[in-house]
Structure 1
Amino acid sequence: MTDLQNQTALVTGASSGIGYELAKLFAQDGINLVLVARRGEVLEKIKHDFERQYRIRVVSMPLDLSSLGEAQALYQACKAENLQIDYLVNNAGYGAYGSVTQADSATYENMLTLNIITLTTLTTLFVKDMVQRRFGRILNIGSLAAFQSLPNLAAYGASKTYVMHFTEGLHAELKGTGVTATVLNPGLTETGFVERADMGRSAQAQRTMLRADVVAQAGYRGMMRGKLNVVPGWQNRVLSFTAGVMPSRKLLLAAASFVMREAGKKR
């Protein structure tokens, strides 16, 4: 088993939610951290708390990874600081709830840059170094939305389907290299996602959600074991399985339309 001492994990979207909980799990195992998020003041507080409590080195990098070029800048900053990244967690991402016909195209462009391009760029850059050292773990945060088309979350769901397929293909490519890629596909979780996606009016958002720490623990264990696909929660696992075996795409879409309706609408 690999000695965890003096290893470093990079976590994007680390200031709250699943990203924060994943960062804490690394810290508890004595793994140094590079924390990336937009909110620099929050990152600095987390940095000081983790360094004091867990006696690890924490580097905070306040960046908006939804801007083109920032992923490359992050990689170069790690190189300049001689930071060897052993674990890469691509957690940063968000959704936008509502009909495509009423969507803001700039919001979609920003969201897809973060959810797809940034994730792909960071993975592509860091995986080469990992393969050269013959050790590394990559955890990409997808979504239960990856398993089916979602009306009112059409672009977000499509972006997470990309994340799942990209990670699964990479996982196969990495066989025998000492590096693994895992995709974590949670359902709705108690994070800031619902608020940022403006999903408060969604019937689905009013159902029971998993806690962020529970989701993070499932993803962390799966990543450390080199698993391919992790879906936390037995209900979510049933839904992901059902989406894969349902014979009719039209029937699956009809079911998704009902689930993703606005609260109070029966359709």
Structure 2
Amino acid sequence: MNYSDTLTSQLAVVTGASSGIGAEFARQLAARGVDLVLVARSKDKLEELASTLRTKHGVTVRPIALDLSQPDSSETLARTLDEQDVAVDILINNAGFASHGDLAEADPGHMASQVQLNVGTLVGNTTRLLPGMIERGRGTVINVASTAGFQAVPHMAVYSATKAFVLSFTRSLWGETRGTGVTVLGICPGATDTPFFDVAGDNASVGSRRTPQQVVTTALAALGGRKATVVDGAGNALVSRVVSRLVPERPLIRIAERSVRPSA
């Protein structure tokens, strides 16, 4: 039996759940009988998705409209869950965004929000929700990293650095939780057909785009395995795990720079 098929009757918190990979996690988990707490800024989108999943799968879905780029958002989320007497079995840290362009021309506040959302909130959510999982002797944490985390990406310096943090954090957490009953996994998508590029821009995309369905299917299939991280798509895995190790650092950075160089 696939590990993900054992998640029935559990409850998952999915961040960044209003669209893209987050919404697809919600759909695939609901189809397995998992109750949901959906977190994102867009209340209307969350309500629409929640209504659809309740009707289609008969699961309990609680939408929470919250700006996770705020420094106190993890504390607010944890407090809200406590007030609603929600015990979290599964945490999907999916919320994140990228900027595309040179750091010297970037808005410092925008960069700080990116670090907060991609790193600070992910750590805050995990730090607050993991102890309950360990206490109950079961749980699942899935952190959405990126193939950009395996190497430096000029013109996306902050994003690639935050995803490198997510990779390292997830691997460390995987090691810390062995024997506790908690499963930890990092999923590393490459370019994926989501609203992500509405913010990052089309030039931030390299290669053909995978679908959110493919990414989430890869992640759920990897649960219960022996890997701390998994890359979605054979081509992405080849580039991330093999090419990035074989090509020397300077040429690799130059290749990445040309690949995502902003248009004039």
Q: Structure 2-normalised TM-score?
A: 0.94
Instruction: Tell me how far apart the structure 1 counterparts of residues 212 and 8 of structure 2 sit (CA, whole Å).
Output: 26
Runs of 5+ consecutive residues of structure 1 not aligned to the other structure: none
CA contact (8 A) 2:101 2:262 kept: no
The residue type equivalent to 1:84 in the other structure is: A
CA positional deviation for 1:131: 0.6
Instruction: Tell me how far apart the structure 1 counterparts of residues 19 and 226 of structure 2 sit (CA, whole Å).
Output: 25
CA contact (8 A) 2:149 2:163 kept: yes
Task: Show the counterpart of 2:50.
Answer: 47
CA contact (8 A) 2:188 2:231 kept: yes
CA contact (8 A) 1:18 1:212 kept: yes
Instruction: Tell me how far apart the structure 2 counterparts of residues 5 and 238 of structure 1 sit (CA, whole Å).
Output: 33
- CA deviation vs aligned residue, 1:121-145 (integer Å, no higher than 9, x gap): 0011111110111100000000100
Task: Show the counterpart of 1:231.
Answer: 231
Correspondence 1:64-143 to 2 at 5 A: 64-143=67-146
RMSD of aligned residue pairs (Cα, Å) = 1.6
CA contact (8 A) 2:21 2:194 kept: yes
CA contact (8 A) 1:138 1:180 kept: yes
Counterpart selection for 1:147 from 145, 150, 156: 150
Instruction: Tell me how far apart the structure 2 counterparts of residues 173 and 50 of structure 1 sit (CA, whole Å).
Output: 34
Instruction: Tell me how far apart the structure 2 counterparts of residues 253 and 78 of structure 1 sit (CA, whole Å).
Output: 43
CA positional deviation for 1:250: 1.2
Task: Show the counterpart of 1:218.
Answer: 218
Task: Show the counterpart of 1:62.
Answer: 65
Tell me, what secondary structure is at the counterpart of 1:9? strand
- CA deviation vs aligned residue, 1:176-208 (integer Å, no higher than 9, x gap): 1110211011111000111111x23x2x52642
Runs of 5+ consecutive residues of structure 2 not aligned to the other structure: none
CA contact (8 A) 1:9 1:32 kept: yes
Tell me, what secondary structure is at the counterpart of 2:186? strand
Q: Structure 1-normalised TM-score?
A: 0.93
CA contact (8 A) 2:40 2:65 kept: yes
Kindly tell me: are residues 261 and 205 of structure 1, through their superposed partners in 2, closer, same or farther at Cα, counting changes over 3 Å? Answer: same
Kindly tell me: are residues 239 and 5 of structure 1, through their superposed partners in 2, closer, same or farther at Cα, counting changes over 3 Å? Answer: closer
CA positional deviation for 1:241: 1.7
CA positional deviation for 1:254: 1.5
Tell me, what secondary structure is at the counterpart of 1:210? coil
Moved more, 89-98 or 248-257: 248-257
Tell me, what secondary structure is at the counterpart of 2:220? helix
Instruction: Tell me how far apart the structure 2 counterparts of residues 18 and 4 of structure 1 sit (CA, whole Å).
Output: 19
